[in-house]
Homo-oligomer: A and B are copies of this chain.
Amino acid sequence: MARKSSLSGFNEWLPAERMVELHVLQTLTEVFRLHGFTNIETRAVETLGTLLRKGEIDKEVYAVSRLQGDEDQASDDPNRLALHFDLTVPFARYVTENAGYLHFPFRRYQIQKVWRGERPQEGRAREFTQADIDVVGDGQLGFRYDIDVALVMAEALSKLPIGEFTIRINNRKLAEGFYRGIGLDDTEGVLRNIDKLEKIGAEKVAEALQDEVGATAQQAEQALALAQIRTEDTGFVDQVRALGVEHELLEEGLTELAEVIDQLHRRVPGTAVADLSIARGLDYYTGTVYETVLVGHEQLGSICSGGRYDSLATKGKRSFPGVGLSIGVTRLVMRILSQTMAEASRSVPSCVLVALTHDQDWDTALDTAQQLRERGISTEVAVSAEKFGKQIKYADKRGIPFVWFSSVAEDGSVSHEVKDLRSGEQVPADPTTWMPPADDLDPQVRATR
């Protein structure tokens, strides 16, 4: 991990590190699959028109142009191509384009790289992998999917070697209803400032609310009082009511958030809290919003975020409301590796190296290897009859646990022995029946604490 990447913000893993990442990806994939999410991928590029429609982060976008072709395009041409910066906007575009071929509600997972041109810093990369799940409906989408996707992510995260985590959940309707109830109509403006609470503190947020959103001192105080509510169960409902604000939208939000927290509290106890300070930067969320922190690594930022969006994907009068969450896989893997929270048992898939006694026995060695592979045992074959010490060192350096010897006698008969490099024990073996211990068959990625 002392290596530095040759391009700042673009990480590349060594083989054993990549195994940890693959373990994370396979674990997520398996949970998503068990919950009936189907996989898609979208192209890496979108038009600027699609990417920037929702207003956000134009500074972070990487534009793409053919080296000897499109360079005369205006830099803000909406048909210009750029790399996607998340998977939600491309997914919304995919849904509207392919609506006629999809079945709704459509459950999909998507695991791909995304790119952002922002300044690289701890926990942030310019190229990183996201793992998203979303459920999208045609015209309408039942509220219970807000609970469904959170349960899936809680299960997925609990199977990763990352220790404890907390999903912090809020609801946009609750916040907007409350702000309207106290007379603040610029919900975006209030949320944008509330979002800074953890970073700059209550006093500065109160000032900003007065300076930027035109709140009175009392309104700012009330908005901050709401943001400070945080409960592990549905206790937040009474705490909000105690603030004495009334609004129809607030009631709707309270009911929704209580239902989400209630189910998570019962089904995955200890993993979710109602946290009314959660704002989420993206303006397309309309209901439940989620953020997730690793306990003890809160400064890493959110590792799994998302929410309900009612009008991100539209096609004429037809709209496709959705709800989903996105795991920042690269951010998680960087933390797992830098803190050695998990390690791979070896850096190669190979369980067996078939050694060579004589150069001319290569053919026999290939036969042996194929017999082992037929039973799922990953096997390499030496290509030259170097000293045994050297061949064993080859296996040992890679963590390959077994070295196999197939000796061809003068009469053409072959005898086989297999050596366990850890115990040094060498025993006769039959390549058509021998099996390694289950733990040795494939590299294991194990949590180290």
Q: Which segment of A140-148, A178-186, A415-423 sits at the interface?
A: A140-148
Contact of A144 (CB < 8 Å), options: B45, B148, B347, B384: B384
A449 CB, nearest partner CB in chain B, Å: 24
Mark contacts of A1-43 with chain B using CB atoms, 8 A cut-off: 1 yes-contact digit, 0 otherwise. 0010111001111110011001000000000011111111111
Say whether A164 faces chain B, with CB atoms less than 8 Å apart.
Answer: no
Mark contacts of A65-81 with chain B using CB atoms, 8 A cut-off: 1 yes-contact digit, 0 otherwise. 11111010001000001
State whether A45 touches B107 (Cβ < 8 A).
Answer: no
Residues 98-149 of A at the B interface (beta carbon under 8 Å) = 98, 101-103, 107-108, 113, 115, 117, 127, 142, 144-145, 148
Say whether A368 faces chain B, with CB atoms less than 8 Å apart.
Answer: no
A401 CB, nearest partner CB in chain B, Å: 13
Task: Enumerate chain B residues within 8 angstroms of A62, measured Cβ to Cβ.
Answer: 64-67
State whether A67 touches B63 (Cβ < 8 A).
Answer: yes
Task: Enumerate chain B residues within 8 angstroms of A75, measured Cβ to Cβ.
Answer: 67, 71
Q: How far is the CA of A142 from the CA of B366 in the complex (A)?
A: 16
Task: Enumerate chain B residues within 8 angstroms of A348, measured Cβ to Cβ.
Answer: 36, 38, 107
Chain B residue with Cβ nearest A400 = B36
Contact of A347 (CB < 8 Å), options: B3, B34, B38, B61: B38
Say whether A298 faces chain B, with CB atoms less than 8 Å apart.
Answer: no
Chain B residue with Cβ nearest A374 = B34
CB-CB nearest 10 A-B residue pairs: A36-B350, A36-B380, A66-B117, A144-B383, A10-B43, A142-B383, A15-B38, A34-B373, A61-B67, A33-B349
Q: List 10 A-B contacts (CB under 8 A).
A: A14-B40, A18-B41, A22-B39, A34-B379, A35-B380, A36-B348, A44-B44, A59-B67, A66-B117, A103-B394
